[in-house]
Chain A
Amino acid sequence: MSLMATLAQAEAVAAGRARPLTTVRHRHLSPTPMVFVPLTTAGETGAPLGAMVGGARDDASLLVVPQPRDRDLRFAFLAGLAERMLPYLEGFADDVDTELRKETDPVTGKRTEVEVELCRDAPQVIVPSGSGVEYVRLLGRSTRFRRTAEDDPDEPHPVPARVPLLGRWLTHLGERALTPGSSLLLSMTGLLSRHWATGQSGLEDQHLGALLAWIDPPGGTDGAEAAAAAELARRPDGLLVCPPAGPATDPEFDNKHLAPAMGRYDAARSAGDAAARRRAAEEVEELVRGQLEPTWHRVWDGLELLRALPAGRRVEERWRRDRWSYTMHRDRLRAGEPPQPRVDDAVTAAQKLSSRETAQVRLDAQEALDDPLVMAGRRLAGEAFAGVVDAVEMTYSEGRAPRPRPLVTVVTDDEPYLDADAKLYRALGERTQEAQLVSVEPGVRGGPGRIVVRLVNGMGRGKVPEEGSVPVEGERVCFTAFEHNPRGGPGLPDPESTPWTHGGPPAAAQGALPDQGTRTAEGTGAAEGTGAAEGTGAGEDGR
């Protein structure tokens, strides 16, 4: 954790209230998000207990499984979820812009510009906590290889139509969520703890109720007390006032309330008493609703807090990458490609890791450039410095056509850790100007130091630098030691050319083999379109 965040935490403890870590909002928030609050059965990770899902605070759909160990009820739940979520997830697919993009022509091998579609907006699913994101991935994994009666009339356990499709969408959201800065699937605790520092640990911040209690203590109470109340306070019936945000449930609720109600449901079913069974199901439903509703409202409370923050300038650019990711998943579905494979092959895994690392560096840089408070943290960590230009001396590069290479002296109180040959960067409008470190003269007795850098580009083509491309005396500048717009590394081999060190090419569709008992949708038109530039299995679009 950075020194700046530690300081903010210490201040939060002293003030009894969370302190802002940012001055702007660093994630895209959709005007029409879908909030999804899932609960799972204790001891049966893959068995959903219920969920609340919807697009507005007053538009919640409650889905409950009265007996989660019953497969038919489980799939009825998933069918209900698909019915509620798919229209939203697919609803952005047809509203498109066209873009020009360079692609390698599969016939000639030449790079040509082609017109491609880019969806103008994309869905955004908000879950309460980080484990909710994990649960979305789990639901995707457990449903995308299922087969419907339409897929295979002989399937012994067909699932309702559209459940496998829901699984593919949830898998895509879950994969995309692993890309730093992406916003298709976000957790509320993640969003809030990015923007506020509380006086509690990171582990405690994963409790949505406690986190909100620090950020917005009810009626001016102390954050620590409010957080303790959120974690511990129980109603007279023994249930938590603020139940866990899920998907795990409170053991007290499981043992004393849910288990007896499910027992009554099972008994009514064994007895064949339809009316009693309906009553018992309603009872479970009310219990689960009681556990979901507080969290549901807290997620919307969190969204209101976040919406009050203005968006950072580069948030839109990152959302555009999410729109690409959405569009390309849409294209893969339309091309009839099989579901995302169970495990990544060596090349896909390496590609994903590399694109996520690039995204992390880009996110860290963009957040700092968009937000002086975040930049202050990087300056304090020695990764950047800001100061006032004291002198500019014009020098030129050697060679036939000398180019301007001005030496800029910056007076700064910052103490950056710079290598002798450090490359430095500064934002110049939309572009980035690079500079080379020349010398560092540390401050004496706490006084300011002097750092001399040589600007090496971004000054136009002529012998005279373009207007505004060289800072003037007295101007305030900020140089960073980190890149602003990192590029991905060199390409990797095709999966078919995986070298011997990595086990050679994956056997045909080996990676796509589902878990025991489920099968892939081979032959569902996979022949068309899989040769497209993006290939199969690229669950994440490295752009």
Chain B
Amino acid sequence: MTAARPPAAASPSAPASPTAQAAGGGADPAAAAALATARILHDTLHGAHRGVVVDSPPGAGKSTLVVRAARELVAAGEQLMIVAQTNAQVDDLADRLATADPELPVGRLHSTDGAPDPVLERHPSVLKSARVSDLLGQKVVIATAAKWAFVKNAEPWRYAIVDEAYQMRSDALLAVAGLFERALFVGDPGQLDPFSVVGAEQWAGLGHDPSASAVVTLLAHNPGLPQHRLPVSWRLPASAAPLVSEAFYPYTPFRSGTGEGERRLSFSAASDGSGPDRVLDVAAESGWGLLELPARHTPRTDPEAVAAVAQVVRRLLERRGSTVSEKGRAALTADRIAVGTAHRDQAAAVRAALAGTEAAGVAVDTANRLQGREFDVTVVLHPLSGRPDATAFHLETGRLCVLASRHRNACIVVCREGVAELLDEHPSTEPVQLGVTVKFPDGWEANHTVLAHLARHRVPHRP
């Protein structure tokens, strides 16, 4: 592939790529996305600023952008380093890079006690080492932020790409920022914020609050940096993008890359009339489903809610679901389904309920661990289901956003009745910290928006 590089003199608003020119950069989502990408690459390669920030809503092609930017930088004769947050993300990016360009010499820097994913074995161009000195000849060196922090006395790279920058903590960026001169920061501002196990109120409002996200610190100290966003979600279907955009990205709207009816879910076996089966039909029809259990205060691992989640998952497979998308028709298999919860014990309870059935291969995990992943159908145990209170943890915008934006076809939420009333009884009461930019929307409002939408796809269920 030849690098599509805009002329150096092009103003950011000028259509930069042939595709964008042809489509005028407006109505067609592909053209809009291509235009945004061209501007980002232009700023990254030719801009005057040391940093470029890219906000990416769920499934907007963030990884594709990272791979593309890396290849274009290499094509321009540069070497670069890539910083990601988890080993899984690093392995995934290395795999994508090597798949996109088998000739590209990639270095995978890993920790001494953790070997990289064996999937990288199939790429001869990926060199793996625990010592950075072995990898200095590679055009692209990729590692987690935690591993980069151990690299000392290296000649700084001219360029870096920082992936999942909104999930990176400011102090982690502080530890690695000396390794590069300029950087492209890519991330999703709507997902879970980084957190600390100890209080950090002492530094609230300081530009360099070590517990803030890397992007917040970066922009506090470098307010003039160009900020871009990817305008199209290729993952979320037309039924989901407007809701997720309105509820979680009210001031930076995005749209779906696919149109109404392009993504479908259907079942070969008929409904047995039960609540779980009816909610499946509702979700197949509309992309959303809410299976509502009677109001009740329950322990976190609410046995009835867990059983309902498990039943929905089992019926998805038993009724031989299939999905239609721009990629064609495919059978809905266990590996294309995920269950999302707020807590680990809830995930464990669902896993236990699914063990030994054909649904045992379904990914069941917490919002934290589902970040960045994609499935055809997701089943979500609502974070506030059955709770007597709405704490900051359960209200966190990012948690609900992650859970509601992992699916390509449909999302089914299992919840006890009464969450709207619960929310009204627990308005956000976090203390206001001077100097801290208020984040919109707050979890309370986002929860209400999502609930109001789900109410239209409600199926009551009495276990």
Contact = CB atoms under 8 A, between A and B. Distances in A.
Contacts of A489: 146, 149, 175
B206 A350 contact: no
B211 interface: yes
A353 B51 contact: no
Interface string A347-376: 101101110110111000000000000000
A417 B175 contact: no
Interface in B409-436: none
B202 interface: yes
B339 to A, nearest CB: 15
A493 interface: yes
Interface in B186-236: 196-200, 202-203, 206-211, 214, 217-218, 220-222
Contacts of B222: 500-501
Interface stretch (B329-337, B344-352, B375-383): B344-352
A498 B222 CA distance: 14
A79 to B, nearest CB: 28
A497 B176 CA distance: 12
Contact of A500 (B50, B171, B200): B50
Interface stretch (A209-217, A230-238, A338-346): A338-346
B113 to A, nearest CB: 9
B210 A353 contact: yes
B348 A346 contact: no
Interface string B121-147: 000000000000000000000000010
B266 to A, nearest CB: 34
A312 B247 CA distance: 49
Contacts of A349: 171, 202-203, 206, 208-210
B174 A501 contact: yes
Contacts of B171: 349-350, 353-354, 492
Contact of A357 (B198, B203, B352): B198
Interface of A: 178, 180, 343-347, 349-350, 352-354, 356-357, 359-361, 381-382, 415, 417, 442, 489-493, 497-504
Contacts of A491: 152
B178 interface: yes
Contacts of A503: 207-208, 220-221
Contacts of B170: 350, 502
Give the 9 A-B residue pairs with the shortest CB-CB distance, closest first.
Answer: A499-B177, A346-B208, A350-B171, A503-B221, A350-B210, A490-B149, A501-B177, A353-B210, A356-B198
Interface of B: 50-51, 146, 149-150, 152, 170-171, 173-175, 177-178, 183, 196-200, 202-203, 206-211, 214, 217-218, 220-222, 344-345, 347-348, 352, 355
Contacts of A357: 196-198
A70 B4 CA distance: 72
Contacts of B178: 493, 497, 499
B254 to A, nearest CB: 27
A382 B217 CA distance: 36
B398 to A, nearest CB: 20
A208 B387 CA distance: 29
B352 A442 contact: yes
Nearest to B185: A501
B174 A346 contact: yes
Contacts of A359: 198
A501 B210 contact: no
B355 to A, nearest CB: 8
A442 B348 CA distance: 12
A491 B153 CA distance: 12
Contacts of A492: 171, 174-175
A443 to B, nearest CB: 11
Contacts of A499: 174, 177-178
Contact of B174 (A343, A415, A502): A502
B206 A353 contact: no
Contacts of A347: 174
Contacts of A344: 202-203, 206
Contacts of B146: 489
A501 B196 contact: no
Nearest to B369: A419
19 contacts: A349-B206, A350-B171, A350-B174, A350-B175, A350-B208, A352-B210, A353-B211, A357-B196, A357-B197, A381-B345, A417-B344, A489-B175, A490-B150, A492-B171, A492-B175, A499-B178, A500-B221, A500-B222, A501-B221
A356 B198 CA distance: 7
B208 A178 contact: no
Contacts of B175: 350, 489-490, 492-493
Nearest to B162: A501
Given A350-B175, A489-B149, 15 more contacts: A343-B206, A349-B206, A350-B208, A350-B210, A357-B198, A361-B197, A442-B355, A492-B175, A499-B174, A500-B50, A501-B51, A501-B174, A501-B217, A501-B221, A503-B220
A417 B196 contact: no
A137 B165 CA distance: 34
A500 B177 contact: yes
B173 A346 contact: no
A346 B220 CA distance: 13
Contacts of B214: 501
B140 to A, nearest CB: 21
A528 B208 CA distance: 29
Contacts of A382: 344-345, 348
Nearest to A501: B177
Q: A178, A357, A501: which has the most chain B beta carbons within 10 Å?
A: A501
Nearest to B146: A489
Contacts of B50: 500
Contacts of B203: 344, 349, 353
B131 to A, nearest CB: 15
Contact of A501 (B173, B206, B348, B355): B173
A490 B145 CA distance: 11
A435 to B, nearest CB: 14
A356 B149 CA distance: 18
Contacts of A354: 171, 210
Contacts of B348: 382, 415, 417
B208 A502 contact: yes
Contacts of B347: 417
Nearest to A353: B210
A290 B348 CA distance: 55
A523 B129 CA distance: 50
A345 B217 CA distance: 13
Nearest to A493: B178
A340 B239 CA distance: 56
Contacts of B206: 343-344, 349
B116 to A, nearest CB: 13
Nearest to A423: B113
B174 A178 contact: no
A498 B152 CA distance: 14
B210 A493 contact: no
A155 B217 CA distance: 38
Contact of B198 (A180, A381, A497): A180
Contacts of A504: 221
Given A361-B197, A382-B345, A178 B202 contact: yes
A124 B357 CA distance: 59
Contacts of A353: 171, 196, 198, 200, 203, 210-211
Nearest to A381: B345
A352 B51 CA distance: 27
A497 B174 CA distance: 10
Nearest to A354: B171
A231 to B, nearest CB: 22
A493 B179 CA distance: 11
Nearest to A489: B149
B174 A498 contact: yes
Contacts of A502: 170, 173-174, 177, 207-208, 217, 221
A358 to B, nearest CB: 10
A5 to B, nearest CB: 14
A540 to B, nearest CB: 11
A352 B352 CA distance: 41
